[in-house]
Amino acid sequence: MSADALTPEEWAAACRQGDRRAASRLISLLESPDTALAARVSQAVCSFPLPRQTIGITGPPGAGKSTLVDYTVSLYRARNEKVAVLAIDPSSPFTGGALLGDRIRMSSLRNDSGVFIRSMGSRGASGGIAFAASDTLRVLAAAGYGVVFIETVGAGQAETEIITLADTVCVVQVPGLGDDVQLMKMGMLEIADVFVVNKGDKPEAEELKVQLELALLNATPESGRALRQLGNEFAASFTGERWVPPVVLLSALNRRNGDEFQQACDRHRDFLRQPGLSVAMDRNRAMRELIWRSGLRLRERLSEALAPGGIHADLVDEYQRGGLSAEQAMTRVMEGPPPCL
């Protein structure tokens, strides 16, 4: 039987048997512009478990994120872990195309059968995250990849949606980018579970590490991202261990001190397994994902409704002429008929 003749359900069954080709095919179908087909595939994999450990890597452009992933994956492979890398690149807002250059930068892993590397374009999704990424994590776990790295573009506050997918969020920073701590104020300081100061052989690296550690000391007592995410009420009642994000100084290019970073990720994984915390985080993650996905779908429908010929195109015209305030126009859109909401 040809590959094209297999149904999404058959591909899903093959994936559960560890079929790497089936995993790749399912991910391609999840990214299909045929939304009905993508929805059917999503249904076929929704019962798959999530990976045992999901590590998000984000930070400003030029921080060496891909080099860090390449290095760290080799450390997990030394422990005989099967590892997947989901590299999410920015897409053109006009063509939908993406550079997808991470596979080139991780070429040392290409011939390792225990490593699965997949590039995905964000295709306009907010936060630097591809719409199909969540289901892709389930596919990768079903195919036997227990540890998954998610590398996303990092340009500031817009990239904080990585917390929707990753168990452990690692923010990579390098010295010499100007006001380094100012970069951390753009949402990054609050989302990180682990900080990495890459290019640690540079003379300014130690100073940046100290600056970050001081910034963490001045943060709120509940500096751990998990407890902040769950809210003040949960944090006040939680009696377990607290988490203070460590700052790891390393050189990914020279392959130095990566073991400290790996140990920090493992300690955070164990921290999240505490009774009560793990259940609350799993539910919060599911809730955040539904809000995020619903927001993307709503944005698509609003764009259609407000475009020329759409059911609310007249509101745009009236707002443009000054006949409606922004608040009035927004209220009429929100209270209008489908497909807006």
* H/E element, 221: none
- Report whether pLDDT(105) > 80: no
pLDDT digits (tens, 9 = 90+) for 287-334: 888 887 888 788 888 888 889 988 888 989 999 999 989 998 888 888
Residue 236: its pLDDT value, please? 83
Q: Which residues pair with 152 in a beta bridge?
A: 88
* H/E element, 173: strand 168-173
Residue 181: its pLDDT value, please? 54
Alpha carbon of residue 177 to chain centroid: 23
pLDDT digits (tens, 9 = 90+) for 234-259: 888 888 888 889 999 999 999 999 99
- Report whether pLDDT(99) > 50: no
Q: Which two tokens stand for residue 103?
A: 């596979």
pLDDT digits (tens, 9 = 90+) for 59-98: 888 889 999 999 999 999 999 999 999 988 754 333 344 4
Distance CA 109, CA 50 (A): 23
Share of the chain above pLDDT 90, in %: 43
* H/E element, 231: none
What's the Rg (C-alpha) of the chain?
A: 22
- Report whether pLDDT(195) > 70: yes
Burial class (CB in 10 A: 0-12, 13-18, 19+), 111: exposed
- Mean residue pLDDT of the chain comes to 83
Q: Reduce the DSSP state of residue 211 to 3 states and report it.
A: helix
Contact 137, 129 (CB under 8 A): no
Task: Look at the chain and count its residues.
Answer: 341
pLDDT digits (tens, 9 = 90+) for 6-21: 899 999 999 999 999 9
Which strands, in side-by-side order, build the sheet including 168-173?
A: 115-121, 83-89, 147-152, 53-58, 168-173, 194-197, 247-249
Q: Is the dihedral of CA 229, 137, 64, 261 positive or negative?
A: positive
Local confidence band at 108 (pLDDT 50, 70, 90 cut-offs): low
Distance CA 139, CA 320 (A): 46
- Report whether pLDDT(180) > 70: no
Share of the chain above pLDDT 70, in %: 81
Q: Which CATH number fits domain 48-274: 3.90.79.10, 3.40.1380.10, 3.40.50.620, 3.40.50.300?
A: 3.40.50.300
What are the backbone angles phi and psi of residue 17, rounded to the nearest 5°?
Answer: -90, 5
Residue 128: its pLDDT value, please? 39
Boundaries of every domain in the chain: 1-47, 48-274, 275-341
Local confidence band at 125 (pLDDT 50, 70, 90 cut-offs): very low
